[in-house]
Structure 1
Amino acid sequence: MRVLWVLLLLGLLGSCCKCNGQTARQENNTGFTCTGTRTCSTYAFYRASSPDFLELASIGDLFEVSRLMISSPSNISNPSAPLVPDQPLLVPLTCSCNPVNATYGSLSYANISYTIKPNDTFFIVSTFKFNNLTTYPSVEVVNPTLVATNLSIGQTVIFPVFCKCPNTSNYTYLISYVVQPSDNISSIASFFGTDQQSIINQNGNTLHDYDTIFVPVRRLPALSQPAIAPAPAPAPATVSSGKDRTGTVIGLGIGLGVVGLLLILVGAVWVYREVLMKDKLRVVRDEEEQRKVYLGGKGKGKEEKMDVKLMANVSDCLDKYRVFGIEELVEATDGFHQSCLIQGSVYRGEIDGEVFAIKKMKWNAYEELKILQKVNHGNLVKLEGFCIDPEEANCYLVYEYVENGSLYSWLHEDKNEKLNWKKRLRVAIDIANGLQYIHEHTRPRVVHKDIKSSNILLDSNMRAKIANFGLAKSGMNAITMHIVGTQGYIAPEYLADGVVSTKMDIFSFGVVLLELISGKEAIDEEGNLLWASAIKTFDVDNEREKSRRLKEWLDKDILRETFSIDSLIGVLTVAIACLHKDPSKRPSIMDIVYALSKSEDMAFEISDDGFGSPRVVAR
């Protein structure tokens, strides 16, 4: 027994030493400086780990990508199969050079949004969840307004996953790799199928444990994957001596003691959760009772029935979202005054110094709440909380406030500043990433059903977020007789037969791409559809004629810039493919993300051939 405790103590000391070693390195690593504005697609080498990251779905959620985007480059045939600890994976990243501040200049990283969970710290998430692909000093630099010692559960934090774009055509990717204690330059080069000198040129001669390095490769390595998760071998049946039985009894006692302790902890957590839920329900009900007294008890019987029904519908949301009082929202919006109206029934309101977008609606928000509980992605507008008002039978959804308004206003309303082609491309990729998340990461899949430029919002960095899940449907390949949506964006099969599928979102996204290219609205004043006009205009085989027509059709604000026409034609090709009459022939959202990323890569590769050539200057 004494030996057992000594070994356990040594193991704990070893773990602490390992953590302290990682901390010492992390304190001196705030990231990798860069210059320019280039963005590229690359990969990070990631190891599956227990208990939370032994399936592609959870790892995909962590990195904001789909399971298929990991399984394909990682040589995994079944994306739903469980993983084993330390199973090697290649996770796709969108890498860019991001301006930070005057001290650090610009840093090269993939921008990953992460929602803080109980017991999370910058160090724990960067070290153990992201496998040291970022560091806590870098997280602090990228999130200057957050206090590392005062994080709130549900708070969104940017975790900068280290990456680099190749500065030479000799290599296709620089794979982000975290050095392990058993590694050396020779073993890393052999594993990735590259040469030692290229690794030295990129990272220097000295490797430090748990530092991120960049491995230059011309092609992705073929990862060797286990066929199935290995099962523990059965213990051989032997005749035990009395001494062995004593050891077994001691071991069994220790094991039972540990199991008992775990059961006590689980029970305590469950009790705490139940108490917390009841407290929240009590607080909401107390607020409603106080409001009833204040109103003089009007319509008391009817109100009590509705209150019970509403609370039953939203009880599952109480531990996920903040419950606002109706008085808070009335005060925040000056009584829902016209001056606070953003658009439709959405108001701007300030509560405790924080600005929110408050959506006022009749009580039909349960389906929207149910869907919003399932989604969490940087390219989707985040729900912060809600409020119910049984007196007026209203529900209020309180969202994050997205500063720069809708894409529609930037494209179609008079503004002093116009979106350049680079920003439009970035917006297109952001929308595609958001759609990829709801189409591939949610179970059952979510169909938005109302993708349009007015439902795309731009934040302070001009990054796009999909908003308004009021028409969204959980599940696909359904048939409905109740056709809803916005004219000009509705897919033909949905309009004709009521077929609900992710392909209808792909169609609508194609229309948004046409808006980004042309600056025209989805339907003009005479009722002409933009997508029908585009298909008719570009139904030609001659590339030179297609380029000439594109120049005439292009938004005149883009023509003032200099960029590669290949990029423009690439996005146009994606848009036309999205508009195919046969839904099965429209591209998958994963293919769209890849194609748009390639168009972004070539956006500013300039040649001197003139506008009509394959790679040219557009002026």
Structure 2
Amino acid sequence: MTAKLHQPTLLLLLLILVGVFLHRSHAQPNITGYNCTASQTGYPCRTYAFYRGALAPNYTDLASIGDLFGVSRLMIAEPSNISASAAALSAPLVADQPLLVPLTCGCNPTNGTNNISSANTNYTIRSGDTFYLLSIGAFENLTSYQSVEVVNPSLVPTNLSIGDDVVFPIFCKCPNTTQVAGGLNYLVSYVLQPSDNLSSVASRFGVSEQSIVDINGNSTKTTETLFVPVSKLPNLTQPNVSAAAPAAPPAAKEERTGLIVGLAIGVGLLGACLILGIGLLVHRERSREKRGPGGLEGDGGEKRQAYGDKGSREMEVNLLADVTDCLDKYRVFGIDELKEATEGFSPKCLIQGSVYKGCVDGEMFAIKKMKWNAYEELKILQKVNHGNLVRLEGFCIDPEDANCYLVYEFIPSGSLHSWLHEAGHRGRLDWKTRLRIAVDVANGLQYIHEHTRPRVVHKDIKSSNILLDSNMRAKIANFGLAKSGCNAITMHIVGTQGYIAPEYLSDGVVSTRMDVFSFGVVLLELVSGREATDEEGRVIWAAAVEAFGGRSSEEIGKAERLKGWMDEGLLADEACSTESVASAMSIAISCLNRDPSKRPSMVEIVYALCRSDDIFDFSEDASSNDAQVLAR
């Protein structure tokens, strides 16, 4: 009887607990992401995430944050109101420094029935990483560990291994066509902080509270991602990290005076030592001349030979130390067998540049001869293994003349450049073969951009570095200029005229988007059969942007302009679809956008080429004026 009396009470308590649970669940921030449909208008789009710099220990500069999101430092600096100077791009960030990180937002499939509106960024697991710690730490709650689990169903969150590749879906949204028509250009992803409210967020972005409510509702939960609707990005106020030092007090001035006097005495003594040293060097050279051309007393021949042997042994040890990690992965060839294979590196075995053809044990190889600067190339080649990249078979070190030889698989049909531009081959490639070559190259670039850590930038994509096998399938060759790691600034500009991205040429910015630009030039070559530069040194891409970019992208007369650009061999190809060529030309123009952040990624390019549809519209930002300026 007592038990029966307590049953209603227990039931009531259970209902209360369920109600509390549901209330709390509703009060939690979004954990699974924001659903979308593949046909939804506006996708994919360029958007931004508001990121607070230097809050996570390993993300205290633009380079590390750029690597995290797969963009360059310059791509973050420009919208964040940070100077594009090398000093500003390299400066450490202060805690909570406001940044706007560019994202490519798409409607991406999950392992479930729903698509998620996200910008997927790749991350390689390090020691101590978990989905949860990365979501709340490095990614600052711009995603959630639950959504990471959904997007990576093959990974066990409690059993991650160092080196695992994980996709982190950054929550984002794209405005629809109606919103864009109304002047809304971006929905900036913003994570609410404990000190935030709708009023403070609206003030930061210069928008009304109601506009935020219209997009998000009245949600103001901490760690919730809000989407802030803006017609233009806010002008972020950045801290002055180069403030002048305060004036020294009187005591410090006295110390400084003593320091200056001491420094002057030291410089004087250093100058005296320098003069004495120069005198000793002159005396030694005169003594050497008196001893004869060998520079050594006694039996000069024997001593010089002994010294040379010692130097060669030391050099060999140093060179081998650089490639110790490669010894168990690649075949180590002997210099004698390479000389025999190439008839002493005879000119008749020369393929191109310093690459020779040679047969070792009945197998044909391409042998690249180079001075000892191959370590970086070897280091990169160890990381890559893909069917659309030329495979490294082995190497050889010749310490006598400090040469290194990289031995590659031999690709029999030569370079794409020869098939497009040299007499005897010109015009022989049909459109189906050209399109397949473009897809092969795009797949190879997608691999080095998306599946290597740090990402590899080839830096020298051009038709002469694209080789064709016996089935006319393309492989990317020559990683001599490649760089492992993006978001760098260099003052040493290398590459081939006509293929170099404008931002790299002007500012030395190294990113995967410079490869995208070069790929766009190769696409132009495939469509037009023209060289990347004409006889007067003018670049083909500038003429293409002028003909098809900006206002020229209007449909009126586009078909005729396209026919004027198409290779004569394609015009005679009955199986060549004008729509397919127009789609490839459209992709090429997108790749050539002056703004690197508006160029498609290689993932998007592969998708567009495989569909062979007009996915990317001609760029409205690459006007003819831009082309003329960049061509100078």
TM-score, normalised relative to structure 2: 0.50
Structure 1 counterpart of 2:521? 511
Preserved CA contact (<8 Å) 2:582 2:614: no
Letter aligned with residue 348 of structure 1: K
Structure 2 counterpart of 1:340? 349
Does residue 322 of structure 1 match 2:359? no
| 1:99-139 alpha-carbon deviations (Å, 9 max, x no partner) | xxxxxxxxxxxxxxxxxxxxxxxxxxxxxxxxxxxxxxxxx
Does residue 571 of structure 1 match 2:584? yes
Q: CA deviation at 1:537?
A: 1.4
Preserved CA contact (<8 Å) 2:608 2:614: no
Write the mapping of 1:221-240 to structure 2, written as runs, cut at 5 A. none
Preserved CA contact (<8 Å) 2:583 2:613: no
Letter aligned with residue 323 of structure 1: V
Structure 2 counterpart of 1:545? 557
Per mean C-alpha deviation after superposition, the further-off stretch among 501-510 and 416-425 is: 416-425
Write the distance in 2 (CA, Å) between the matches of 1:512 and 1:400.
23
Write the distance in 2 (CA, Å) between the matches of 1:70 and 1:415.
47
Residue 323 of structure 2: SS of its match in structure 1? helix
Preserved CA contact (<8 Å) 1:488 1:529: yes
Letter aligned with residue 431 of structure 2: W
Does residue 556 of structure 1 match 2:593? no
| 1:291-345 alpha-carbon deviations (Å, 9 max, x no partner) | xxxxx87821211111111010010100110000000100000000011000000
Letter aligned with residue 336 of structure 2: E
Write the distance in 1 (CA, Å) between the matches of 2:368 and 2:107.
36
Preserved CA contact (<8 Å) 1:69 1:590: no
69 and 435 in structure 1: CA distance in 2 versus 1, 3 angstrom threshold: farther
| 1:385-415 alpha-carbon deviations (Å, 9 max, x no partner) | 0000010100000000001000000000012
585, 588, 591: which is aligned to 2:598? 585
Q: CA deviation at 1:541?
A: 3.7
Residue 494 of structure 2: SS of its match in structure 1? coil
Letter aligned with residue 522 of structure 1: A
Q: CA deviation at 1:381?
A: 0.2
Structure whose CA Rg is larger? 2
Write the distance in 1 (CA, Å) between the matches of 2:109 and 2:481.
33
Residue 320 of structure 1: SS of its match in structure 2? coil
Write the mapping of 1:457-468 to structure 2, written as runs, cut at 5 A. 457-468=467-478
Residue 359 of structure 2: SS of its match in structure 1? strand
Structure 1 counterpart of 2:457? 447
Write the distance in 1 (CA, Å) between the matches of 2:608 and 2:404.
40
Structure 2 counterpart of 1:398? 407
Q: CA deviation at 1:72?
A: 3.8
Write the mapping of 1:10-49 to structure 2, written as runs, cut at 5 A. none
Does residue 473 of structure 1 match 2:483? yes
Structure 1 counterpart of 2:424? 415
Q: CA deviation at 1:536?
A: 1.0
TM-score, normalised relative to structure 1: 0.51
Residue 357 of structure 1: SS of its match in structure 2? strand
Preserved CA contact (<8 Å) 1:476 1:500: yes
Residue 367 of structure 2: SS of its match in structure 1? strand
Preserved CA contact (<8 Å) 1:476 1:501: yes
Residue 487 of structure 1: SS of its match in structure 2? coil
Preserved CA contact (<8 Å) 2:465 2:477: yes
Letter aligned with residue 609 of structure 2: L
Write the distance in 2 (CA, Å) between the matches of 1:521 and 1:601.
24
352 and 84 in structure 1: CA distance in 2 versus 1, 3 angstrom threshold: farther
Write the distance in 2 (CA, Å) between the matches of 1:343 and 1:333.
14
88 and 69 in structure 1: CA distance in 2 versus 1, 3 angstrom threshold: farther
Preserved CA contact (<8 Å) 2:583 2:614: no
Preserved CA contact (<8 Å) 1:425 1:600: no
Letter aligned with residue 582 of structure 2: I
Structure 2 counterpart of 1:359? 368
Per mean C-alpha deviation after superposition, the further-off stretch among 363-372 and 540-549 is: 540-549
Preserved CA contact (<8 Å) 1:431 1:464: yes
Per mean C-alpha deviation after superposition, the further-off stretch among 393-402 and 549-558 is: 549-558
Letter aligned with residue 422 of structure 1: K
Write the distance in 1 (CA, Å) between the matches of 2:585 and 2:329.
41
Q: CA deviation at 1:452?
A: 0.2
Structure 1 counterpart of 2:50? none
| 1:336-373 alpha-carbon deviations (Å, 9 max, x no partner) | 00110000000000001100000000000000000000
Letter aligned with residue 311 of structure 1: L
Q: CA deviation at 1:73?
A: 5.1
60, 74, 77: which is aligned to 2:111? 74
